[in-house]
Amino acid sequence: MIVISGKQFSQRLCVGAWRTFSSKVTDEPYWIAKFPDRIASFDEIPTVTEKYNPRKVPEVAEGWFKKYGHVVKEPMQYGKYNVHLFHFDDFRTVYRNDGEFPIRQSHYVIAQYRQERKHLYDHVGLGPGQGAEWSHLRNIIKGKTYALRPSQEKSEDAVNDLVEIIKTNLNDKGEIELLPWLHRWAFESIGIVALNRRLNALAKSNNELADKMVEASALTDEIIALTTMDPTTMYDERYKQLVEAQDFFYSVLRKYIDDIKRDIELEPESDGIAQVLFQSGSCTENDAITLIMDLFHGSLQTVPLTALMAFYHVARHGDIQAKAREEAKQKMPKKDSRYFRSTQSLGLTQSIVYETLRLNPPIIGNGRVIQKDLVLGGYSVPAYTNVLLHYQVACRQEENYKEPLKFIPDRAEPNRTVYVFGGSNRMCLGRVFALRQLLLVVAKVIKNFEFFYDGGEISMINQMHNKPEKPLILRLKPIDE
Ligand code: HEM
């Protein structure tokens, strides 16, 4: 144990490990009452050893937080530890010290799959990529994320199609399981920005392809999560399933991309990420396809699951729903008003999206291998430790939000909620697109339907993404204008 005097303490503030603490110099660290005159050693971090169901990680992690505090360590293979963090200040410290090439330890199975297919992939992709390899891919797409923004007309057409398809699929009680339709809408929407094509996922028939792609991405996610958390169990069996899912995913996108290549040879196209990448000559064909796959994979679960939970919350809060509808009607006063043609902002709808991302984020948090020694929660954590940033647990604590389990959009706080997208220069590539899509879908669907929910609190499972354990059935009443 190192005990230091007040003077030494302030000296350390200026020099040693403390320099990594990123709040204003005058702010005291949140853990000062626990360790008023010293930094605790790594060994002192409480250790958790219990076996747990990976599908219940958020609850298990919250239990650790409640029992042991803001930092716990969990023994992993080869004498290493994962360190679990539950405080926003520690998230900020980790991200601010990320360096040029932030390391996120996951997606090993995807790396293996792609490395075994070098004729198709020049690099392993954004998910598993590290160091210069990751940076190479990220730089290719960096200047081109503007391509994630156009196609407003097509994006809005896709939501209009979603509204119509919801109407035709309500049962005689007005009930519907929205999630499969939101998945199809997400597939259609990423197709619009990535390929500048409508993929017919919301057509009345012949739309099974979208369902199979969503299924393949969900299975891939689950296998990534299981093999990251527990690389030793059933690895071969899981890898075999992943190969099947990824072969299918690749074959579908390959076909779309071959069509685009043929089309742009006949006539150049300015919209669409694939088009921009192919025509700019800035990357190999294999890298372009890898990036398109990563964008599809990144979007098929996250946005639909967030939209679903936003609808669940508004269904349970009629007053908030009515105000949001009023706001949407002001932006789009007529039946055929176009969302993107109005400049009117959507303050409440935006707050609904942020509050949903706080209370029901599609993912539990993020991870980093820290690249220098850091002081986290008052403990000294050595470089190259894998730390897990439990955003979801932090968002559900009284110390951060009053009555944290209540849905209160008025308190939405974008500056903190942005951590749901990770941080530093490795932050989610689809953040702006995701937020735009969420605002668009929530506004348009609330304008067209009244929502009701008669069931109780739903319980969630985690399969890399947080999902309702059972189908979430909402009751919708179309609004005739
Ligand atoms: C609510 C929606 C979303 C959430 C909460 C979310 C969250 C995240 C998080 C936490 C990361 C890790 C970032 C880091 O390590 O700092 C990430 C990475 C990524 N996301 Fe998202 N995401 C969302 C939507 C999307 C969408 C729509 C796309 C595609 C259009 C996408 C594509 C990606 C990609 C490609 C990466 C890897 C970035 C890299 O490692 O360089 N995400 N996302």
Greatest CA separation for the chain: 75
- Quote the strand ranges of 228-335, DSSP E: none
- Parallel, antiparallel or unpaired: strands 460-463 and 465-468: antiparallel
Q: Does residue 125's CB lie within 6 angstroms of at least one atom of ligand 1?
A: no
Burial state string for 117-137 with b = 16 or more CB within 10 A and e = fewer than 16: eeeebbbbbbbbbeeebbbeb
Candidate of 291, 390, 421, 424 to mutate for ligand 1, largest count of ligand atoms within 8 Å of Cβ: 421
Strands 460-463 and 379-381: unpaired
Closest alpha carbon to 199 in 125, 120, 261, 260: 260
**pLDDT tens for the 481 residues of the chain, in order:** 333 333 332 333 232 333 333 444 457 999 999 999 999 999 999 999 988 888 889 999 999 999 999 999 999 988 899 999 999 999 999 999 999 999 999 899 999 999 999 999 999 999 999 999 999 999 998 877 666 665 788 999 999 999 999 999 999 999 999 999 999 999 999 999 999 999 999 987 777 899 999 999 999 999 998 898 887 888 899 999 999 999 999 999 999 999 999 999 898 888 889 998 988 888 899 999 999 999 999 999 999 999 999 999 999 999 999 999 999 999 999 988 999 898 888 999 999 999 999 999 999 999 999 999 999 999 999 999 999 999 999 999 999 999 999 999 999 988 899 999 999 999 999 999 999 999 999 999 999 999 999 888 899 999 889 999 999 999 999 998 6
CA of 124 to the centre of ligand 1 (A): 16
**What end-to-end distance do the CA atoms of the chain give, in Å?**
71
274, with CB counted inside 10 A (0-12, 13-18, 19+), is buried
Q: Which residue has the tokens 């689950």?
A: 222
* Centroid of ligand 1 to alpha carbon of 169 (angstroms): 31
Residue 274: which of 266, 217, 282 has the closest Cα? 282
430 CB within 6 A, ligand 1: yes
Which residues are within 8 A (CB) of 228 and not within 5 positions of it... i.e. 6 or more apart?
A: 105, 106, 107, 108
Is 365 near ligand 1, meaning CB less than 6 Å away?
Answer: no
CA 127 – ligand 1 centroid, Å? 9
94 CB under 6 A from ligand 1?
A: no
Helix (H) or strand (E) holding 393: helix 391-395
CA of 51 to the centre of ligand 1 (A): 29
Rg of the chain, C-alpha, whole Å:
23
Structure tokens given for 247 = 């072969």
The residues with which 466 forms a beta bridge, in sequence order, are 462
For the chain, how many helices (H) and strands (E)? 17, 11
